[in-house]
A and B are shown apart, each in its own frame.
Chain A
């Protein structure tokens, strides 16, 4: 390792639509080093990476490569300068060969003709160098596994003499045996003095691989430390440690007759993405599904809503066994989903507010739709939906918060018993957030069972009566409502229990949960025991 950094980023600042996502971040990269970039969802890791890759341009700050200032305004420029990025979504052509992909845009020619053999030889040499003879340069990328495709991406970077390779959650879609291949590849890259910038949520990988760790939080660089100088518990604390500043509305006095009844009961639910899901939600209860992106939260929501079935286990709604194979069946059984992407999955953007409100009714109960839809204006009213053009306005002109209210109105009109909310406050303003929170409180008081999915831990903790933490498609454990963010993160990242962060004095220690500190809400002490709680 030399003293001079290969890459130096200084004071990188970046805003999107007036929202500042990076505040003067500094980062140095040395040859042969693996520099891990960690932080919560939305801390600015991906943005920083994209600034380096030339996808985004920094508003302020400087990037120096080998001491020379550079400014990449296009990814190709960055690649030519030796800065390659392996994004989560692959940049490969599935129908072309490995060699064709590696040399795309830089085909080797001899006397003007593309020399396919030479490209295959060059690619094969690189693969051999990396100890990956198993991949044939002539194989079509489509026939490769996800891990192999990632290898091809990295080989593509190397074939352009990349000296810096940054990887955005490279293991997010890899199975464990495939992760090993990546580990070996990374070791080889470091031997070749390539500098690596590595974003991952998985603490184990970070401690396995990293030489240096930079922690980002809310767009600020919190700390940069040598990996040997910090433990997982301390790292989690550095990532999270922020005061809970948001205020959440108080619980409302329950008044519905179904409060306390088990309304949703999932036993051993599983499909290709999740496994062994046990989830019980009572009327009047808000259960938070916590976990990192890709941990299976959305997949569970989609399975409940009939988008992707559970192929194993059973689901009961209000005691009746259901197996929704389509959203239509799910809605009929009383389960609705406010999906995480309201623009593509929640709304018909070119239609009016009222038409969107009636969407579910018209589709699922065509006969009773007219009668039921009389309630929609009232529901919209109660959600404080403000639209300048009245209820006939097209929803695409509404703000994010008002759009979300239309989605909510659509589902409230269907009188759900179980409501799954996937990131219900994503991209909406503070006022609308409060409206969504109040609505959740009201609904649960009326006896609706609510499953809340959110990447914002304070929101999840503040609104839920109980948290079910997911890790890699399985339930990692269950935590009470007032758990600390550190405890949730530790469980979701698979940090070891014995090194979990110390607790604030006024907070419960999650691991004593099963033993018995007072668990406030009655629904949590349901008849069944939670086997997951015993698991690490």
Chain B
């Protein structure tokens, strides 16, 4: 049989990256927002890119970034984590009380905080996968449990963070805060892991369609549990950053709505809330966009309520924009494309191979 005069659709150079990816789109949006903001700020006679503003922007980014990277992993697996704000708050308290102002106990404090967070993530993951509790409910419940614990035991600031550890919150390399460097390194590791480990591939698979993954021999619980553990640990890192900046453990930071902001950053970054599509690179752009907006609003002294209205509007608009591109294209064949009746064509010839006989072609074979 000779090589294919394959159907036209098979010859389309569709594989070429003709379409701009969502991630590129998000970064383009980031550049536009930065440019517009710079103009707006300078119209007010100020400068967006002063060292102080830049550092403020990057520090906001690193805090939200830790939370959003973890949230991306969880959302890619078609799960969700509403407990990250509480986990971060718990982490500040655990780290600060364990360190208790002693520079020698920094490693112990960090380990204790992250260990506790990992256990919480493990619990989240197991409840979601083994008990089959909806992740929304499971992690909301976990959040409330942590909140209850914090409220009973830590009314005010707790513990003491040695100044050696506050370096994590304040030290800079040039204009770049150390925390931002750590965040970007973790983001790079996450991007690499998603692309180059089986676990990463399986996260996408489970989030895309758990049944397909199962039928392909993937153990579907493993990626979900791992994502939850990593998400909680990253929330713990965010808590460490908060503790380093405050110099003490502060249980009340859970009231800042970090979980929703992290989800907003993830979604803004082009990750599909129903899983299986997206990535950490987009999330970082989403984080930078949100941080930029915050910084600009601060510089312009925008009313805090208007600020939230604007942020909400931007997130909704962005998601609406993405949704246009991904209206579910089920594999339903269009038999009769709109327009008039197609002229009845000759049915296709049977294939090259010898066929035992050639009965009349099926009737009604339009197109």
Contacts and interface: CB of A to CB of B under 8 A. Distances in A.
Interface of A: 75-76, 79-80, 90-96, 100, 104-107, 109, 113-114, 116, 131-136, 138-139, 142-149, 173-181, 183-184, 186-188, 190, 202-204, 207-211, 227-228, 231-232, 268, 270-276, 296, 311-312, 471-474, 476, 493-499, 535-536
A208 B366 contact: no
A180 B359 contact: no
Contacts of A93: 204-205, 208-209, 212-213, 276
A104 B365 CA distance: 36
Contact of A494 (B331, B336, B353, B361): B361
Contacts of B345: 176
A114 B196 contact: yes
Contacts of A209: 355
B196 to A, nearest CB: 5
A70 B198 CA distance: 30
B335 A208 contact: no
Interface of B: 1, 3-4, 6-12, 14-15, 195-198, 200-202, 204-205, 208-209, 211-213, 215-218, 272, 276-277, 329, 331-338, 340-342, 345, 347-353, 355-367
Nearest to A90: B331
A177 B7 contact: yes
A207 B355 contact: yes
A188 B366 CA distance: 27
Contact of B359 (A146, A211, A495): A495
A175 B11 contact: no
A275 B216 contact: no
Task: Give 10 nearest A-B pairs by CB, closest first.
Answer: A136-B15, A134-B10, A494-B362, A496-B360, A183-B351, A105-B217, A105-B216, A93-B208, A95-B277, A187-B353
A494 B359 CA distance: 10
Given A105-B213, A116-B196, A471 B362 contact: yes
B262 to A, nearest CB: 22
B336 A271 contact: yes
A132 B9 CA distance: 11
5 contacts: A104-B213, A134-B12, A149-B331, A174-B333, A494-B365
B366 A183 contact: no
B7 A147 contact: yes
Nearest to A55: B215
B10 A132 contact: yes
A493 B208 CA distance: 36
Contacts of B334: 272-273
A268 B334 CA distance: 18
B276 A95 contact: yes
B14 A136 contact: yes
A270 B338 CA distance: 9
Contact of B14 (A95, A139, A187): A139
Given A272-B338, A312-B341, 13 more contacts: A95-B272, A105-B205, A134-B4, A143-B14, A177-B8, A183-B350, A187-B352, A203-B362, A204-B362, A268-B341, A275-B335, A472-B365, A473-B335
A100 B201 contact: yes
Most buried by A among B6, B11, B197, B329: B6
Contacts of B276: 93, 95-96
A194 to B, nearest CB: 14
Given A95-B208, A180-B7, A476-B363, A187 B351 contact: yes
A95 B8 CA distance: 23
